[in-house]
């Protein structure tokens, strides 16, 4: 699904740079990927050209619903079989190369400040793709992972994104079923496993969500099962639409 917005986005990438503030980097003018000192021309984006080449923007033919790479047609076979409950999912990068390394370094707590860069890439992508929303929500982490990491990784990305985009982020959702290891599950099993894992955080959250276009933030989209389960709750609360945006997939 190569469309006008995507062409616009590619044009935008060529101009990208102004919005990236090197001062966000706590260690000064070094590359977020490899840590080498950067020449002045790369300060604005805090990334060296070699590392940047390792970030693969998701372009080409993508499923109109979940954003999966497809060979032909409009939507992927998984979406045809089980349509997701969100309206559309976008991801900035393929989950490989540097994008994968950044997510892991961020979530492991090794480089928590990477959140600022990850959220900035997401915000710039959303602007370029003209993704609009009334409010941000995020996929809530399990208590175990918050305890382990010391922070809620998607909440942190959503709050930074909200600051950059001047939009409100709310913790509308909570996890009511603890996360099991999903790596051994196939797509159908994952959908079943997370289907009842979430609930609204409060009656207040329901009021805030009603009639709104929600942008649901997470770091990585895999099968889309988690995002779909969250979208179900938001829509039951009256959300007008739920668009999903992740850093990678
Ligand atoms: Zn580098
Ligand atoms: Zn799909």
pLDDT in tens, 8-22: 665 555 445 444 443
Closest ligand to the CA of 80: 2
CA–centroid distance, residue 20 to ligand 1 (Å): 16
On the CB side of 237, CA atoms within 13 Å amount to 27
Phi/psi of residue 189, each to 5°?
-65, -35
Two tokens, residue 82 = 């089980």
Closest ligand to the CA of 244: 2
Residue 50 lies in domain: 4-248
3-state class of 190 per DSSP?
Answer: helix
Two tokens, residue 76 = 């992927």
At residue 28, the pLDDT reads: 52
Q: Worst-scoring range by mean pLDDT, 7-11, 82-86, 115-119, 156-160?
A: 7-11
Say which CATH number the domain at 84 has.
3.40.50.2020
At residue 103, the pLDDT reads: 97
At residue 13, the pLDDT reads: 55
226-238, pLDDT tens digit by residue?
Answer: 999 999 999 999 9
CA–centroid distance, residue 27 to ligand 1 (Å): 14
- Neighbouring residues of the ion ligand 2, judged by CB less than 5 Å: 63, 65-66, 68, 76, 79
- Neighbouring residues of the ion ligand 1, judged by CB less than 5 Å: 31, 33-34, 48, 51
Is residue 182 pLDDT above 90, yes or no? no
Contact 146, 152 (CB under 8 A): yes
Sheet containing 88-93: give its strands across: 88-93, 241-248, 213-220, 135-138, 168-169
Q: What is the mean pLDDT of residues 217-234?
A: 95
**Alpha carbon distance 127, 120 (integer Å):** 11
How large a percentage of the chain has pLDDT more than 70? 87
**Cβ atoms within 10 A of the Cβ of 230, count?**
27
Q: What is the mean pLDDT of residues 50-62?
A: 94
**Alpha carbon distance 29, 19 (integer Å):** 15
Q: How many domains does the chain have?
A: 1
């Amino acid at each position: 699904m190569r469309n006008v917005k995507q062409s616009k986005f590619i044009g935008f990438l060529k101009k990208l740079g102004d919005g990236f503030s090197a001062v966000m980097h706590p260690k000064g003018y070094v590359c977020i990927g490899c840590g080498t000192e950067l020449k002045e021309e790369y300060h604005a984006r805090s990334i060296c050209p070699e590392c940047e080449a390792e970030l693969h923007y998701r372009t080409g033919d993508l499923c109109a619903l979940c954003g999966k790479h497809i060979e032909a047609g409009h939507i992927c076979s998984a979406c045809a079989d089980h349509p997701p409950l969100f309206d559309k999912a976008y991801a900035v990068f393929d989950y490989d190369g540097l994008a994968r390394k950044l997510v892991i370094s961020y979530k492991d707590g090794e480089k928590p400040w990477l959140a600022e860069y990850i959220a900035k890439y997401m915000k710039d992508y959303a602007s370029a793709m003209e993704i609009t929303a009334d409010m941000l929500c995020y996929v809530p982490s399990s208590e175990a992972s918050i305890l382990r990491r010391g922070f809620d990784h998607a909440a942190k990305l959503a709050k930074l994104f909200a600051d950059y985009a001047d939009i409100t982020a709310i913790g509308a959702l909570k996890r009511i079923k603890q996360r099991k290891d999903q790596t051994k599950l196939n797509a159908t099993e994952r959908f079943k496993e997370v289907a009842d894992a979430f609930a609204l955080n409060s009656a207040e959250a329901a009021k805030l969500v009603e009639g709104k276009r929600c942008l649901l933030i997470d770091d990585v989209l895999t099968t889309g099962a988690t995002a779909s389960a969250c979208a179900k709750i938001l829509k039951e609360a009256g959300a007008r639409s739920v668009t999903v945006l992740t850093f990678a997939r």
